Amino acid sequence: MQLLWNSMWVLCTVVKWTMAEEECGGLLTRDRGLLHTPGFPRPFQVPLKCRWVIDSSMQPTQPVSIVVYLTQLFVTTGLTFTEYAYYEPDSPNYQLEPKILHTVTEENVAITTRVATNTSFLVVEFNMDRLEGNHLRASDGLLEVYGLNITYIMHLGTGKIPDYSCTAAKCSMLGHCYASLDYSSFWCACFPGFTGPNCKQGPLCRRDMDVCRNGATC
């Protein structure tokens, strides 16, 4: 009997896990959370369509601002952020005052660190038909990374919005940008051999060997 229970539990866990892997998008009403592609950082099945609706209208204190931090964003197309005064997921007639705030492109993917709104609804849409040619590709550590894993937080008026956040580019493409457990502060976890807040210090910077000229620091 015990064995049967155990195997059923394992089966359920596996099924739940597999389902969770397929999930993409949803209604987000908690004051902070994570948006990620299925199985991040692994490649996902395409075509993929996701829509996350971040809804702050139920928060006890108003006004609220919603900030999405682009911590691990490796797609160069297909991702848009739209604010709405009101958004009813299933009724286009009740989706009021849409305004596109940001569309990720090859040009801005390395520059933009966050997207913020003061309206109650922020809708994040991701559509991708093929993986090839649509991803940031840099050093070895980022060659096999697909999709996105980004955080959001609802600021309830009182708390200060952190002025430092990171992205792959801010970590010099030599590390991953992670949020702290409560998603309110950020840091670069550098790939082996690289150190420093932006992972700029590499294996070639040895103290006993001054590779830099003209007073520059490595």
Ligand X SMILES: *[C@@H]1O[C@H](CO)[C@@H](O)[C@H](O)[C@H]1NC(C)=O
70 binding ligand X? (CB under 6 A): no
Applying CB under 6 A, does 116 fall inside the site for ligand X?
yes
In the bound state with ligand X, the residue whose beta carbon lies nearer, of 34 and 46, is 34
Comparing CB distances to ligand X, the nearer of 65 and 205 is 65
Contacts with ligand X, 119-138, as mask; x by CB under 6 A: --------------------
Site string for ligand X, 25-44 (x = CB under 6 A): ---------x-----xx---
**Which residues in the 171-210 window bind ligand X by CB under 6 A?**
178-179
Q: Does 59 bind ligand X (CB under 6 A)?
A: no
Stretch in the footprint of ligand X (CB under 6 A) among 23-31, 46-54, 110-118, 127-135: 110-118
Q: Judged by CB under 6 A, does residue 145 bind ligand X?
A: no
In whole angstroms, give the CA distance from residue 103 to residue 124: 10
Q: How far is CA 107 from the centre of its chain?
A: 18
* Residues binding ligand X (CB under 6 A): 34, 40-41, 65, 71, 116-118, 149, 151, 178-179
